[in-house]
Every structure is written in C-alpha cells, then in structure tokens.
C-alpha cells in the first residue's frame, strides 16, 4: 500500500474523511466499496453468482450486513433460496458462519427452517455450531417439521431439550406446528414432553391451544404409559 500520511494537526473531521476515502480506495475489510452495497444484496437475492463473485474479487467484505434485518449475504442467500450464491459465499475467504441477524438468526437456523437439507449438510461439514444459547437450529427444524434435518442435527448431538430465551423446547415448536411425525421423532429420541416454558405451558398445552387434538391425545398416552402423567 502506498505511503499515505495525514498531518497530526489536521482537523478530526478531515482525518475521518481522508481515512474513509483511503479505505474505500483500497478495499479494506469491513468497508463496502463505493456503490457496491446495493449491488451486492440485489445480486444475492437474484442468485447472481457472477456479480457476487466480481464484487468479492474487488475486495468487498462478504460479512457486510443489509439494513432490513441485519442479514449477512450468507443468511440472505438462504432466506431467498439463492443456492449458487450460498455455495460461493460458503467458500469465501473470511466468511463468518456464526454471524447473526439482529433477531439472532444465523445461517444454520435459516437453512433448517427452510428445510434446505443440502445447505444444512454443507454448514455442518464446515463445523457450524449446532448447540448455542437460546434458539437453536433444532427449534427451527422442529417448527418447520423438517424431519430429515432434525435427524441430521440429532446425529450431531443437538440438545433435544434446548431452551429458548423463554424456555420453549424443540418439541413444543413441533407440536405448535402440528407436525405429528416430528413430535414422534423427538419423543423416540428422548425429548422430555413434561417440561414447561416461562408461561407454565407443556407440549400438551401447546397442542391443545393450537387445536391439535390428535397430538395432545398422543402425548397424553405416551406420558401416561411412561408414568410421567
């Protein structure tokens, strides 16, 4: 990098402007290239892999975030089912797999919720974190009734009774969504259907409140048979 000297006595605003100009000119990490921010996220949404590749080659940080939800390009690619861009970003230098949107969503969670088995497998192959505090990918897979992904996560030692910030568990999410086969899968794996969330609700309460009578009856039968009810 050429030697750029800023006078010590320069006005602080002028120093800031000069510093920003230098970053933009030389593509330092964390700073978007001029005009590239909108192009990048538009290209991600359109699965325009060539445009995204060109911007990355110009020095664009793959971990910059968009304004609406605070998504990175990787998370947005999963939301938009932009498979080619996702695969490109997954291999990008410096990509942060555990980066979170403002609501706490990360790439593995969105892939799980979308039922994107290929993306989940690719993220797990890169050692994406399965168990984390709060909401987890297993909560999201259970909420969507994505049984194959539930199995994939359980194979990677996902916590069966992971607690969300309000102590909701994955089986409660599966019950609320009416996903009876997912509920059975989690029960067979050892999920505890007697646990309560912060509102004092069990999985049976979730089933009754959501109008899933068949699930409520099935849970009641299983718990009585196990001597837990």
How far is Cα 72 from Cα 184, in angstroms, rounded to an integer?
35
Q: In sequence order, what are the residues at sequence separation of 6 or more whose Cβ sits closer than 8 angstroms to the Cβ of residue 111?
A: 78, 119, 120, 123, 137, 149
Q: Please list, in sequence order, all residues whose beta carbon lies within 8 angstroms of the beta carbon of residue 204, skipping any fewer than 6 positions away.
A: 193, 216, 219, 220, 223
Q: What is the mean pLDDT of residues 90-97?
A: 97
Binned at pLDDT 50, 70 and 90, residue 35 comes out as confident
- Going from the N-terminus, what domains does the chain have, and what CATH number goes with each? 32-105 (1.25.40.20), 132-229 (1.25.40.20)
Whole-angstrom Cα distance, residue 29 to residue 23?
8
| Residue 184 to residue 173: CA distance in whole angstroms | 13
Alpha-carbon distances, residue 95 vs 63, 74, 75, 120, 161 (angstroms): 6, 8, 11, 16, 30
Share of the chain above pLDDT 70, in %: 85
pLDDT tens digits for 162-199?
Answer: 999 999 999 999 999 999 999 999 999 999 999 999 99
C-beta atoms surrounding 221 within 10 Å: 11
CA atoms of 189 and 160, how far apart (whole Å): 8
- The DSSP symbol for 31 reads S
Of the listed ranges 10-24, 54-68, 111-125, the least confidently predicted one is 10-24
CA distance 94 to 27: 14
**CA-CA distance, 86 to 76, in Å (whole number)?**
9
**Eight-class DSSP state of 200:** S
3-state secondary structure of 72: strand
User: What percent of the chain shows pLDDT beyond 90?
Assistant: 83
């Amino acid at each position: 990098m050429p030697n750029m000297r800023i006078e010590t006595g320069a006005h602080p605003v002028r120093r800031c402007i000069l510093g920003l100009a230098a970053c933009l000119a030389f593509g330092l990490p964390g700073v978007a290239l001029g005009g590239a921010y909108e192009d990048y996220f538009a290209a991600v949404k359109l699965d325009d892999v060539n445009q995204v590749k060109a911007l990355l080659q110009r020095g664009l940080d793959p971990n910059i975030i968009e304004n609406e939800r605070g998504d990175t390009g990787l998370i947005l690619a999963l939301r938009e089912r932009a498979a080619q861009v996702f695969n490109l970003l997954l291999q990008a230098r410096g990509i942060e797999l555990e980066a979170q949107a403002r609501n706490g969503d990360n790439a593995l969670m969105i892939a799980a919720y979308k039922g994107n088995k290929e993306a989940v497998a690719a993220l797990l192959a890169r050692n994406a974190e399965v168990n984390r505090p709060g909401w987890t990918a297993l909560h999201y897979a259970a909420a969507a009734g994505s049984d194959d992904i539930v199995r994939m996560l359980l194979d990677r030692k996902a916590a069966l009774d992971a607690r969300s910030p309000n102590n909701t568990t994955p089986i409660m999410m599966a019950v609320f969504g009416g996903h009876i086969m997912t509920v059975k899968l989690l029960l067979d794996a050892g999920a505890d259907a007697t646990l309560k969330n912060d509102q004092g609700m069990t999985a049976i309460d979730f089933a009754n409140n959501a109008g899933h009578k068949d699930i409520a009856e099935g849970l009641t039968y299983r718990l009585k048979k196990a001597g837990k009810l």
